[in-house]
């Protein structure tokens, strides 16, 4: 059963932005003001909804709603795109009965096209009419593009003053190698919490979840994660113990969503858990992990269930991480593969064949005596991925 935080309603509508008769507009509405936080793409070409959302959060730490559309990214659309984004908030505000500046926008879809503004008014009417009848799952489905399934995660946690609930949803399957978040992700909670603590919590969790995965090495123009906390539970998170429990709960939600993104990678069949330890620093470990996780040769070997460890150490060697090659120890599926500059003398193909057939493949690299570590989730690269992206606009 889906655990839904108190004080939120959901709405969806089929606007026809890309396909007819498919919900492609969603609304998450808090019954009262909610503390809001956001993390956004570091791509220099930031979409209009990203720029508007950042502007709204800079002006106020409180919001009432999130509106999300699929099918139109509203990215690289200039001043007209910014004006259109603000106009959509005006349109939605009329039916959501909140002020435009209380709505945080998010969009996903093809880059470059202007929003189909003629469709927004009728869609917003449908959106308002569905409030209270639609579910969180409906919104998760409405924000999908190339996703093969909706991604939803819920948790509850017992704090000193009582139970609070968290619900997270996201979309993403391709153009995924964020430096903050996934394509689009939303976390809602009914806890009462200070804005500063909420912002720090989201940043911490995004770094260890959405920012620790890769599908194809591409960071989108629209990457956005927004978190709302409306206090409807009347449970205050203030003590260090409560804040730690709440943060741990949010991290579980975000990490589950991150796993599902990699699991749903466009045409993907594998989830590689690349754990680098022993680096001179955490950033050094991240360099190493990302070089391996983004390597087309490593990813295609995963798809082919080929235990080609040479591709892993070669990617590590060009990663830019500082290490002594003689210190490197590589294990795949817990089996020692490489150490002291050479492979294990065992029959590695035979030993590794069973674990390479699993959906989840563990790749562990100790690259020295340091304290730096980083774990990255990465997908394989398949024929289906090429087909999906070759035909994306058609």
Instruction: Choose, from 108, 182, 224, 382, the residue flagged as catalytic.
Output: 182
182 is catalytic: yes
CA distance 271 to 256: 13
CA-wise closest residue to 64 among 214, 205, 217, 231? 231
65, two tokens: 């709603």
DSSP code, position 385: H
Neighbouring residues of 109: CB distance < 8 A, sequence distance ≥ 6: 17, 18, 69, 70, 71, 72, 73, 145
Residue 258 vs residues 12, 26, 185, 187, 348: alpha-carbon distances, Å: 24, 21, 10, 13, 31
Phi, psi of 334 (to 5 degrees): 80, 0
CB 58 within 8 A of CB 258: no
CA distance 342 to 338: 6
Residue by residue, DSSP assigns 9-72 as EEEEE---SSSTTS--EEEEEEEEEEEEEEEE---SS--HHHHHHHHHHHH-SEEEEEEEEEEE
Neighbouring residues of 207: CB distance < 8 A, sequence distance ≥ 6: none
Packed helices 282-293 and 309-317: angle between N→C axes, nearest 10 degrees:
130
Residue that has been written with the tokens 């945080």 in this structure: 104
* Residues designated as active site: 182
């Amino acid at each position: 059963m889906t655990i839904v935080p108190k004080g939120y309603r959901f709405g969806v509508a089929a606007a026809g932005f890309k396909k007819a008769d498919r919900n492609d507009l969603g609304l998450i509405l808090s019954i009262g003001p909610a503390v809001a936080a956001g993390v956004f793409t570091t791509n220099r070409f930031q979409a209009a909804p990203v720029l508007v959302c950042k502007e709204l959060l800079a002006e106020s730490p409180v919001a009432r709603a999130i509106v999300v559309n699929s099918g139109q990214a509203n990215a690289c659309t200039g001043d007209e795109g910014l004006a259109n984004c603000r106009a959509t908030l005006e349109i939605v505000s009329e039916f959501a009965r909140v002020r435009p500046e209380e709505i945080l926008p998010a969009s996903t879809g093809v880059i470059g096209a202007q929003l189909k503004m003629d469709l927004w008014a009728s869609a917003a009417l449908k959106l308002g009419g569905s409030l209270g009848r639609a579910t969180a799952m409906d919104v998760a489905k409405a924000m999908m593009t190339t996703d093969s399934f909706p991604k939803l995660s819920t948790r509850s946690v017992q704090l000193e003053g009582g139970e609070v609930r968290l619900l997270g949803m996201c979309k993403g399957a391709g153009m995924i190698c964020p430096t903050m978040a996934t394509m689009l992700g939303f976390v809602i909670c009914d806890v009462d919490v200070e804005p500063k603590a909420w912002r720090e919590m989201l940043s911490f969790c995004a770094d260890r979840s959405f920012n620790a995965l890769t599908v194809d090495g591409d960071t989108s123009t629209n990457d956005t994660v927004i978190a709302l906390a409306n206090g409807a539970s009347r449970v205050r998170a203030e003590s260090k113990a409560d804040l730690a429990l709440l943060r741990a709960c949010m991290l579980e939600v975000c990490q589950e969503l991150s796993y599902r993104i990699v699991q749903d990678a466009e045409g993907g069949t594998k989830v590689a858990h690349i754990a680098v330890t022993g680096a001179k620093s955490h950033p050094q470990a991240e360099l190493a992990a990302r070089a391996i996780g983004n390597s087309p040769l490593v990813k295609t070997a995963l798809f082919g269930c080929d235990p080609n460890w040479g591709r892993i150490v070669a990617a590590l060697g060009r990663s830019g991480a500082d290490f002594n090659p003689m210190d490197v120890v590589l294990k795949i599926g817990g089996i020692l593969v490489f150490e002291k500059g050479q492979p294990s003398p065992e029959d590695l193909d035979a030993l590794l064949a069973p674990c390479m057939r699993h959906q989840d493949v563990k790749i562990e690299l100790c690259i020295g005596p340091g304290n730096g570590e980083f774990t990255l989730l990465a997908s394989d690269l398949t024929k289906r991925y090429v087909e999906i992206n070759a035909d994306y606009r058609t």
